[in-house]
Amino acid sequence: MRSMTPSESSGTKKRIFSGMQPTGEAHLGNYLGALRRWVKMQDDYDCIWCIVDQHAITGGGDPAELPGHVVDLAVSYLAVGLDPERSIIFVQSDVHEHTELAWLFNAVTPVGDLERMTQFKDKSQRVESIPAGLLNYPVLQAADILLYKADGVPVGEDQKQHLELTRDIARKFNATYGETFPETEPLIERGVGRIVGLDGDAKMSKSLGNTVPILAEPGEVWDRVRTAVTDPQRIRRSDPGRPEVCNVFTLHGFFTDEETRADLADGCRSATIGCIDCKRVLSDNIVDAFGPFRERAEHYRAHPDEVRQILDDGAERARIIAKQTMEEVRERMGIAWRNAVGT
């Protein structure tokens, strides 16, 4: 049985942590898979939301573009409703304890465990020379979470393996150095599943171009949605469709009311509604749903100092927690030598 975390023992809200890599403006998959849930969780949890720029460098890319991507993601966070008054919002590299704890976790993390990670095996096959950062990515991820002694992490099914490694690292550290970290629980939203891209095949991804930026103008939303793959057996408008296998109809589930969805399904099956009509309804509903996001983003883009201040304040609040954790970790690992000489 694991020891209780500070938030549990004091009766306060449980703490959760999560983050995203900065690849620029958030997209539809980010929103459906994570951000919309994060916004709701702010009422029930002590929330810490991070922009994980030190994870991003493991994928290469142009260093000159990374700072702009960080700001774009910060604007996206704020635009969808992440609230700096109710959450801590910050950039990973502004809190150096993340990488310090990751290095110390290497002392208890078996290489074999890292080599078994599915994402490592997949990504390592695409490069000729495997960077150590790709192997150690889950160790930094564990440090991100355990630095704040998070009780839970909202994750998708594809991240369960990494979180289980985080739990293993916590157990190994506690067994070696004494009870320090919680075994963080995965908080998986049931009924969401894998968010399939507009290509009807792969997971939504900006790099694959099969998604919609959440701050896109109406014209761009339509340009993206109109390319979406529908029921492959419906070749002509007069062919009856199968909404249950159509990815466009699946996306309607997030943006379209139940009565309209029922009408669309009936029209699809009877071939009285064409795929382009169905896509137009989806596009219009996405535009309406994301309208407030575009308005808030416009404000923050016009006030970059406000974004900078929010991230600075968030980093300062994060450092307070991180410093306390690292003082405990150093003491337990025997690297707090100043305590031995009474200084």
Residue 253, classified by CB atoms within 10 Å of its CB into exposed (0-12), middle (13-18) or buried (19+), is: exposed
Catalytic pick among 123, 160, 172, 279: 123
Phi, psi of 10 (to 5 degrees): -90, -5
DSSP one-letter string for 15-36: EEEEEE--SSS-BHHHIIIIIH
323 a catalytic residue: no
Handedness of CA 205, 208, 210, 216 (dihedral sign): positive
Nearest to 76 by CA among 108, 105, 34: 34
Coil, strand or helix at 91: strand
Catalytic pick among 13, 14, 172, 203: 203
160 a catalytic residue: no
Q: How far apart are CA 17 and CA 45, in angstroms?
A: 10
203 a catalytic residue: yes
Nearest to 54 by CA among 166, 140, 130, 135: 140
Q: Is residue 11 left, alpha or beta, with left meaning phi > 0 and alpha meaning psi from -120 to 50?
A: left
Q: Which residues are catalytic?
A: 123, 203, 206
